[in-house]
A and B are shown apart, each in its own frame.
Chain A
Amino acid sequence: MKKNDAYLHIGRASDLSGVDRTLYRFFEMIPGALSVITLLLFIVLSFFIPSVVAYFTIGFSAYWLFKTIFLTTHLRHNFKRMTHNLNIDWTKKLENTNHEEIIHLVILPFFREPYEVLAESVRAIDTASFSNKQIAVVLAAEEAGGREALESAQRIEKEFQNTFLAIMTTVHPKGQEGEIPGKGSNIAYAAKVSKEKIIDARAIPHEKVIVSAMDSDTVVYKDYFSCLTWHFLTCDNPLRSSFQPVPLYNNNIWSSPMLSRVLGYSSTFWQMIQQERPERLSTFASHAVPLVPLIEANYWQRNMVNEDSRIFFNLFMLYDGDYEVIPLSYPVSMDANVAPTFWGTVQNLYKQHLRWSYGSAENIPYLMFHFIKNPNISLVKKVRLLFVHIEGAWSLAVQPLILFAVGWMPLVIGGKDFNNTVLSYNLPIVSSWFLTAAMFGLVFLAIYSLQLIPKNPQNHTFRAQVPMALQWILVPFTMVIFSSIPGLDAQLRLAFGKYLGFWNTPKFRT
């Protein structure tokens, strides 16, 4: 790590002291404060100037429509691009490159996931088109996961013993000082150990190694490593770039309840949109990072919940803003969030979105603090990145609530004078025009999801596809329950210093 980056792995205000701590603590309050102030303003102003709030709600509904159209154009393009990329022969494309030099270190962290989940992921790596002799697989177990988890890893290690360049199991010790239990500390440990035992033991040049940090349920598509290698070899600055595939939640999609499917695909579509706006893209879930910057950043942060996006910001700060995420527009498949019972699924989905929302919120104080401390990053980059992330966290928590709740407050508390106006009667009418028009965006989501979904293994009929299309009607509901509310929850936890611990999404397949 560079000398001037003592602040690189800050997880929260309590990691600092003195003025720095106060400053960071203040920054932690900003996302929650902005959201709460916005919502309170809507309510308070509805008492005093309901007309202004009504105009704002109508304007906001119009903004929502145009935002939907704008984002749908991105989604459409990325859908075409991903379809195109899936049809490319990436192996052929790698001809005339020095792809034989590239080594993929694939880390699969797990806690107590069943053997089948891990085995399917490793099997997919095995059957991928890229040479297995250039792939090393690390099964990153947790000591806290217990004997059974370790036995699953050892069974897989044995099964694939001579399949790859190497396959090994690491066991992250529990209770390490300065760490919180979770994926970040586990993969940081696994990367460090495997770098020594696999990469350095074979004297492989670090600049030729790409580390893929996968979620344990990640099933790669056939050409994933070829596609990743091609992008690594052809991008402008490979050692200043991370690589992001599109996460599809297809593994168990046909056995998932409607709610899981909608939320899973909503996440996918958001990532697809971001793939067309790389300046807004940060790494998410399964992603790839070259080994060199990873070592220089001292691997992933061990003291926070969402290491996946944070590693990008770590590297962005480490290299004074000279770091980017390259969208692969090529999918990997993961598990939709499912529990044995519907209520369990609802709880898991909430917890998952709470964790994601918390990640988006906790990056904001990190960015603000570093932007103050680091004069080497251009002001334009600072302002742009900060705006993107503050607006993102604010939108996530507040926009659905404006559209479906507080925006309508003037009708409830605006008083008789306001209720006698044409504006009061037209507020729901005109707003619903825009929102209904925006709902047509759901048609695109239904179409794209039907094309991305694998064939139903049990029922190939048209009738089986119908719920897959109709499920998108749930979006207004999911926006509030699984976006706004966990978003606010996460921001308020951060604002009040009730820091979130890691919650491992259980993997359950029927």
Chain B
Amino acid sequence: MEPLSLRTRRVFASVSFILFLIILPIAGLYASGYRLSGFSLVSTGGIHISAPLSGTSISLNAEELERTSLFSKTFFFDNLTPGSYVIQAETEGYYPWSKTLVVESRLVTDVSVLSIPQPVRLFELTQATSTLASVDALSTTSTTQLISADDYAVIADVFATTTPTLKNTGTSTEEQVSPSVDIESGVGLVIEDGDLLVRWERNSNPPSSFCTRPSLCVTHFFIERTPQTVTDAEFFGGGVIYRTEESGVMLSEVDIRQPRLVVSIYSDPQASFRIIDGTLYIKDGETIYRVEGF
């Protein structure tokens, strides 16, 4: 039996090379977002969505496309011709979320779902007489929770001695008169004349939540710009928690694109909030509530 002849090998090599040359531009165009439509090439874009919870149904233009699981919480929808798309996310026990997104040619519109429990559960904190009682009480689903007198005192003290708006962690440049009251991943939270806005504090390109479309981004936008007056604000639970003198404590997502999910957490205008060790507390008069589900 003879080795492969030079001729046979050259045929193999030529066929492989020709196939490679054919596939190369096809792969390149496909990867860039070009698709064949009839006999013409159309340029497409895509949407990349990430959702924090398992069991979230993701729909595009009212058609369910995916469902998140423990191992799969981000999806890339490609082959989308440029235009507007309505994307929705629904999770049992959470507020429905939706966005109208603009898809552009060869670009990807990136968006993250904000999951807010529905209803938001508040537990009234009650001082226990012993530590043991507080442990038992925490494991129940009662709307009241017993905590130790010491823990209660700590929380009450935070409400009495601090304010959430004066952390002043942001940087203030000459143009940016108002300092940030909170900052997270380069995004500053600013209260300016009773309005609440977020501001991109870095010199690099802002994240997709600052972009009405992938190619059009702003450096700041308003979260709350109604006649209501915002007094306190802080990043919390993937969004921003704030208080207005008129409507009480609200939670809003931080995204310029509409519709923006805004949920009333506690509607009494007299209420105030604090975030202690990652937990949200609301105080109304002498009553303190712990907010669950975040």
In the complex, are the beta carbons of A77 and B4 less than 8 A apart?
A: yes
Interface of A is mostly: helix
Bound form: Cα–Cα A278–B6 in Å: 10
Residues in B whose Cβ lies below 8 Å from that of A63: 20
Task: Considering the complex, give the chain A residue whose CB is closest to the CB of B18.
Answer: A66
Interface size on B, residues (CB 8 A): 34
Q: Tell whether A62 is near chain B: CB-to-CB under 8 Å.
A: yes
List B residues 2-31 near A (Cβ within 8 Å): 2-4, 9, 12-13, 16-17, 19-20, 23-24, 27-28, 30-31
In the complex, are the beta carbons of B27 and A422 less than 8 A apart?
A: no
Which listed residue (A62, A84, A276, A430) contacts B4, Cβ 8 A?
A276
Q: Tell whether B40 is near chain A: CB-to-CB under 8 Å.
A: no
Q: Which of B13, B17, B24, B32 has the most CB of A within 10 A?
A: B32
* Nearest CB on A from B201, distance (A): 15
Residues in A whose Cβ lies below 8 Å from that of B145: none
Known interface pairs A327-B3, A420-B214; A426-B78 also in contact (CB < 8 Å): yes
Q: Which of B17, B27, B30 has the most CB of A within 10 A?
A: B27
In the complex, are the beta carbons of B23 and A277 less than 8 A apart?
A: no
Bound form: Cα–Cα A222–B12 in Å: 34
In the complex, are the beta carbons of B24 and A70 less than 8 A apart?
A: no
Q: Tell whether B106 is near chain A: CB-to-CB under 8 Å.
A: yes
Residues in A whose Cβ lies below 8 Å from that of B45: 422
Known interface pairs A63-B20, A66-B20; A278-B3 also in contact (CB < 8 Å): yes
Q: Tell whether B46 is near chain A: CB-to-CB under 8 Å.
A: yes
Known interface pairs A62-B23, A416-B204; A426-B3 also in contact (CB < 8 Å): no
Q: Tell whether A329 is near chain B: CB-to-CB under 8 Å.
A: yes
In the complex, are the beta carbons of B33 and A422 less than 8 A apart?
A: yes
Q: Tell whether B110 is near chain A: CB-to-CB under 8 Å.
A: yes
Task: Considering the complex, give the chain B residue whose CB is closest to the CB of A57.
Answer: B31
Q: Tell whether A81 is near chain B: CB-to-CB under 8 Å.
A: yes
Residues in A whose Cβ lies below 8 Å from that of B225: none
Known interface pairs A74-B4, A420-B107, A421-B108; A427-B31 also in contact (CB < 8 Å): yes
Bound form: Cα–Cα A67–B76 in Å: 30
In the complex, are the beta carbons of B16 and A423 less than 8 A apart?
A: no
* Nearest CB on A from B14, distance (A): 10
Interface of B is mostly: mixed
Q: Tell whether A59 is near chain B: CB-to-CB under 8 Å.
A: yes
Which listed residue (B12, B20, B32) contacts A62, Cβ 8 A?
B20
Bound form: Cα–Cα A64–B106 in Å: 26
Bound form: Cα–Cα A63–B13 in Å: 12
Task: Considering the complex, give the chain B residue whose CB is closest to the CB of A434.
Answer: B27
Known interface pairs A276-B9, A277-B9, A427-B31; A84-B20 also in contact (CB < 8 Å): no
Known interface pairs A422-B45, A425-B48, A425-B108; A70-B31 also in contact (CB < 8 Å): no
Bound form: Cα–Cα A415–B108 in Å: 14
30 contacting pairs across A/B (C-beta < 8 A): A54-B31, A55-B28, A58-B27, A59-B24, A59-B28, A66-B19, A70-B13, A73-B4, A73-B12, A78-B3, A81-B1, A276-B9, A278-B3, A327-B3, A329-B3, A415-B205, A416-B204, A416-B207, A420-B107, A420-B108, A420-B110, A421-B32, A421-B33, A421-B106, A422-B31, A422-B32, A425-B76, A425-B78, A426-B33, A430-B27
Known: A58-B27, A58-B31, A276-B9; 8 extra A-B contacts, CB below 8 A, are A59-B28, A66-B19, A70-B12, A329-B3, A415-B205, A422-B107, A427-B31, A430-B30
